[in-house]
Amino acid sequence: MMQFSTLIDVAQLSRWLDRGDWVILDCRFALVEPKIGHSQYLEGHIPSARHADLEGHLSSPVIEGVSGRHPLPDRRQLSRRFREWGVNPHTQIVSYDHGDGAFAARLWWLARWLGHTEVAVLNGGLRGWLQTNGDLEKGPEPAAPKGRFRASRPQTREADAEEVLSICRSGAAGKSGTVIVDARAKERFRGDIEPIDSVAGHIPTASCMPFGENLNDGGYWLDPAALRRRFAGLAKGPAVSYCGSGVTAAHNILAMVHAGLPEPSLYPGSWSEWIQDPARPIARGDG
């Protein structure tokens, strides 16, 4: 059976879906309306898909004044959720959202964090599925036998705030040789606007690599060669990826892994955690 570990396209999903042990996870979500993802799921989803909610399933509760907006979930609870979704040790997981992969990439990273590498994001997401006249199902999650999944050694890398602070102090790609990559839009990186968090700006020494630029104008991921060119300046050493709350940062990580580049660490707390401590430095502007 073919395995997919980064991206899968609609034709591949259609071809392989009924041939083995597969679980499809609908990760649609909206920061401004957290319940809308589940409503949209009920209105129509890829056949046999289950709903994976960013705040209900893929994050743990916020600790006011300490954590970022989407702390990593408890590993045991997430493992239990995987079993409830019907995931077995070698299940092929496919995650999707509206189209850009921002929330689907969070699921991709978390599955690998639990040690599960047979996980891929649907290229083009639900929009891509519908463009090929893919059928949708309506209503609640279909019944499924409980899976036998058990978490194992993480296949991911993490960095905490202290590590990131140490990189800042060493200078951009300085003594540590590590670069910090910000996945947010350039306007937020520069501090021109901040629509979500209480402080504008970015982590000092970081480079701005907006996650949306991993996609072409049609909303599909760039091919590996184009992604390698995009991240060429970062490929010479290790990288730490962050964003507003540790969600879209996974998009850049997926892009680099798909391109065959070294996998960056994720700073899970990201900007929304960084600004909780006023002693941590911030920067504004382009650099």
Which residues are identified as catalytic? 243
Yes or no: say if 216 and 222 are a contact pair by the CB < 8 Å rule: yes
Q: Half-sphere exposure (CA, 13 Å, Cβ side) for 146?
A: 6
The two three-digit tokens of residue 72, written as one number? 């990593």
- What are the beta bridge partners of residue 25? 50, 95
Concatenated DSSP letters for 126-155?
Answer: HHHHHHTT---B-SSPPP-PPP-----S-S
The span from the CA of 26 to the CA of 98, in Å, is 9
Chain-centroid distance, C-alpha 156: 12
Yes or no: say if 181 and 239 are a contact pair by the CB < 8 Å rule: yes
Select from 105, 102, 111, 40 the least CA-distant residue to 73.
111
